[in-house]
A = this chain, B = another copy of it.
Amino acid sequence: MPATTPPESGPYAYPLLIKQLLHTPLATRPGQEIVYGDVRHDYRTLQARIGQLAGLLQSLGVKPGDTVAVMDWDSHRYLESYFAVPMMGAVLMMVNIRLAPEQIAYTLKHSGASVILANREFLPVLDGIAGQLPALRTRILLDDEGGALPDGFAAEYEAGLRQATPVTRFPDFDENTRATTFYTTGTTGLPKGVYFSHRQLVLHSLAAMATLGSAHQQGRLHRDDVYMPITPMFHVHAWGLPYVATLMGIKQVYPGRYLPGRLLALIGREKVTFSHCVPTILHMLLNDPASAQTDLRGWKVIIGGAALPRVLAQQALARGIDIFGGYGMSETCPVLTVAQLDGDALADGEADVALRTKAGIPIPLVDLRIVDEDMHEVAHDGQATGEVVVRAPWLTQGYLHDPAASATLWAGGYLHTGDIGNIDAGGYLRVTDRIKDVIKTGGEWISSLALEDIIAMHPGVAEVAVIGVADPKWGERPLPLVVTHAGRDVTEQEIIALVTARSQAGDISRYAIPERVRFVDTIARTSVGKINKRRLRDQHDAPAEPGGAASP
């Protein structure tokens, strides 16, 4: 990554660097606010602090190509690192603070981080893994409490900024220089590192601004909105919105740790109008006692990370929230689709909730397809399903130091999301399952999630997970694992009859009608509460069981 200064003369080739996102907001809205707790400053100060942070890091020996980790809740300081670290030519590594300490140690080590900016709250974790991190030579304390600087720390952030000689002119360099890296975790294996370049983040910001801005009425972000993330900044760049908000020059509110009462208070006090979060957090906010006292009308919220449940969408709409889905993943920067309503969809009140709960329509430049196993596209009829594969200018080009997984990710020249979905005639994607959880039977793909939704409607069913079990004739057959409510007697025949009825109504393929149902006491879940289908398959797909008699 050779750092070069702009030419003194001649045409400027204009590399797409993160620093270039700052031109417009600084020229047009230098007095716009950035809020964190009691801290309230403006974009001029943001610019000054970016220069000071870079100066501090330089004085501590950070060079282009070095990796600088951050371990913090959502803060104005995190935003500053989003700019200062890449603008120096260094790589920003966002630590997933929800991982177990051993996994955090693994990701820090794997990323090659030599510097960390860590919030005081995470010192016990850092201390516990310090012995495993010989390359992590410099620590900077992020602190709202003003306590003493702990041993082994080179500086406290605010004092360091005050003393730093600010960088006033950031260099030009190759736009393909790596800007950020972070880790994604599945139900199995070690965390995998993804990475994004300056070019990718600039293009993602432009395309996200273009798509969010240009919606007709519903689900749009405009330049007088007030932005607050409720998807953490360590998670896929907080969906890229801090960069978008900065480019737009809008007011930004950073809420620290996500405490429902604090989030609701900030929405009211700062007049927040645009956020994004996972369904669980929105559910928590709407059911918090403080929720009733907060006027949420006009609050626009993109839901991602998991499908937006219909009931939650209706509950939010009843509160006047403009709620809608979005879709992407760690590997995709993340935004691929947004469930905005325009034109006919906007005019069709019937379609409203159905479309808002989909993954959405592709944003500019996204070439998104649903394909069969031979990479042939399937019909866009809202029924036919295939794997979601994608090209866009902002997809990770692989997994860090993992050529085998990278090759699988990009098999056939498209990034494989590992998700199964369908696309309707209007271009709206619905994600129906993870490909590893889909059941392939008799040449058809059955969504385990769709089958679970049907079985869960039986009043006696407390929990259900559907897995595919090997079958010599059909390849796989669905096996529902059911936990019943205490004291309720549910029979296999009732479950099969329920699915049969729904299949006859056209809601699901007849191939989905199970021959057997297994009643269990518990369903294995992962550490974050997701159903662990891999373990369920290990537990329940016993090859000794007779198969082959099934005849859907």
Contact = CB atoms under 8 A, between A and B. Distances in A.
Interface of A: 6-14, 16, 20-21, 23-24, 27-29, 202-203, 206-207, 209-210, 212-217, 220-224, 247-248, 342-343, 346, 361-368, 391-393, 395, 397-398, 406-407, 410-415, 423, 426-427
Contacts of A216: 222-224
A538 to B, nearest CB: 31
Contacts of A7: 413
21 contacts: A10-B410, A10-B413, A11-B397, A11-B415, A14-B365, A14-B395, A16-B203, A23-B368, A24-B361, A27-B361, A29-B343, A206-B364, A206-B365, A209-B213, A210-B210, A213-B220, A214-B221, A214-B223, A215-B222, A223-B342, A223-B343
Contacts of A212: 213-214
A291 to B, nearest CB: 28
Given A14-B393, A362-B23, A413 B29 contact: no
A395 B247 contact: no
B28 A426 contact: yes
Given A14-B393, A346-B224, A361 B28 contact: yes
Contacts of A213: 209-210, 212-215, 220
Contact of A367 (B23, B206, B395): B23
Given A213-B210, A214-B221, A216-B223, A11 B364 contact: no
B224 A8 contact: no
A212 B248 CA distance: 12
Nearest to A202: B365
Given A8-B413, A216-B224, 16 more contacts: A6-B413, A9-B410, A9-B411, A12-B413, A12-B415, A23-B362, A24-B361, A24-B362, A24-B363, A29-B343, A209-B213, A210-B210, A214-B214, A214-B248, A222-B342, A224-B342
A399 to B, nearest CB: 11
Contact of A12 (B8, B23, B391, B427): B391
Given A9-B410, A391-B12, A413-B6, A24 B364 contact: yes
A392 B223 CA distance: 21
A210 B212 CA distance: 8
Nearest to A23: B367
Max chain B Cβ within 10 angstroms of own Cβ: one of A220, A361, A427 = A427
A284 to B, nearest CB: 30
A366 B247 CA distance: 11
Nearest to A16: B393
B223 A27 contact: no
A364 B16 CA distance: 12
A463 to B, nearest CB: 37
B12 A366 contact: no
A406 B11 contact: yes
A233 B53 CA distance: 47
Contacts of A10: 407, 410, 413
Nearest to A209: B210
A415 B14 CA distance: 12
Contacts of A29: 343, 427
Nearest to A7: B413
